[in-house]
A = this chain, B = another copy of it.
Amino acid sequence: MTQSFEKLDRTSVPELDNILGIPFNVLDDGFIRVIDYMGSDAAIVQAARVSYGKGTKKIREDEGLIRYLIRHHHTSPLEMCEIKLHVRVPMDCWRQWIRHRTASVNEYSTRYSLAIDAVQKTKPNEWRLQATSNRQGSEGYLEVEKGRSFSAREDELLNLARIVYSERIDAGIAREQARKDLPLSTYTEAYWKTDLHNLLHFLALRMEQHAQLEIRTYATIIGCEIVSKWCPLVWKAFNDYQFSRMELSKQEIAIIAHLQSGDIEGAKNTAREYGFLPAKGESLKYNLEREEIEQKLKTLGIRPPWLPS
């Protein structure tokens, strides 16, 4: 072998270096800080090209290659990038965050140290109403006047919780037990480190409109303020191909193909066959899958053939 290798310098991304350590404020008392990172758009290209060998050097441009990788879910080169964040998050939100298992975590220990003396408080205009269309979401806000009384009540509860915690600590009760009744709105802090592939998966799920507002706020900042600076080509491709994509099922493809060829009955029959359109003559009933299809067809500018024109 006569391969020769040059001395390398570390990959760095000046746009990200500029914000290292500086907190992005989130919610009323949370933050996200980038502590360190490894890799960049260029490092992804470099790793992908190991797979492809000499055969493809210079054939594709970097941006084209990155877009290809993301379009085709070739995610292993994305794992070559790592980022380490320092975050401050309400425990309720952290409970969702920590469900993403492919990450390294060092969390502030309330066995070892006093619980952080900060809770996420809700302003009078921030009380959200239960969604009716979606069992696990919210839509709209409580009127501010009512909100005021709920915020006051919240203060009362949070104050009592903190006093009770302090009384226990003062009496010498173990920190690991004194904390047991702290409210979920108490802030925690953690170092959280993950690779870019798993981070994009986190963002795809948590920036999404059905994600809970609190974690969505964190995710959006990580995406729009951090990943966008760190790996701008990946960020753009992620938005085009992953975050804003539409998935069409086998039956949705068949319905569209029928409609494009003018076969309205064929489209309806496919829908009936899959059980989301009632038999001829029966009236339409609520069906979640049909609603989802209708929404997709509308986005594509195609009229669902079973709806009144």
Could you say which of A152-160, A225-233, A277-285 contacts chain B? A152-160
A80 in contact (CB, < 8 A): yes
Task: Contact check, A11 vs B33: say whether CB atoms are below 8 A apart.
Answer: no
Task: Contact check, A183 vs B185: say whether CB atoms are below 8 A apart.
Answer: no
Task: Contact check, B181 vs A185: say whether CB atoms are below 8 A apart.
Answer: yes
Task: Contact check, B76 vs A104: say whether CB atoms are below 8 A apart.
Answer: yes
User: Using Cβ atoms and an 8 Å threshold, which residues of chain B touch A301?
Assistant: 256-261
With A167-B153, A245-B248 known as contacts, the answer to whether A38 contacts B84 (CB < 8 A) is: yes
> Out of B80, B114, B161, B246, which one reaches A248, CB within 8 Å?
B246
Task: Contact check, B53 vs A108: say whether CB atoms are below 8 A apart.
Answer: yes
**Which interface class (under 10, 10 to 19, 20 to 34, 35 or more) fits A?**
35 or more
Task: Contact check, B113 vs A54: say whether CB atoms are below 8 A apart.
Answer: yes
Q: How far, in Å, is A62 (CB) from chain B's closest CB?
A: 13
Task: Contact check, B185 vs A168: say whether CB atoms are below 8 A apart.
Answer: no
User: Using Cβ atoms and an 8 Å threshold, which residues of chain B touch A248?
Assistant: 245-248, 300
Q: What's the Cα separation between A5 and B37 when bound, in Å?
A: 18
A8 in contact (CB, < 8 A): yes
Q: What's the Cα separation between A185 and B186 when bound, in Å?
A: 13
Chain A, range 39-93, C-beta contacts under 8 Å to B: 39, 43, 46-48, 50-56, 67-68, 71, 76-77, 79-80, 82, 84, 86, 90-92
Chain A, range 90-147, C-beta contacts under 8 Å to B: 90-92, 95, 98-99, 101-102, 104-109, 111-114, 118-120, 122, 127-131, 135-138, 142, 146
List of 4 A-B pairs having minimum Cβ-Cβ separation, nearest first = A53-B113, A8-B21, A260-B301, A138-B174
20 additional A-B residue pairs with CB within 8 Å, beyond A8-B21, A51-B108, A245-B250: A9-B20, A10-B12, A35-B46, A47-B106, A56-B112, A56-B113, A68-B289, A71-B249, A76-B106, A80-B106, A91-B184, A98-B99, A128-B173, A129-B172, A129-B173, A150-B171, A160-B160, A176-B212, A245-B249, A260-B300
5 sampled A-B residue pairs with Cβ under 8 A = A10-B37, A82-B82, A101-B101, A111-B136, A248-B248
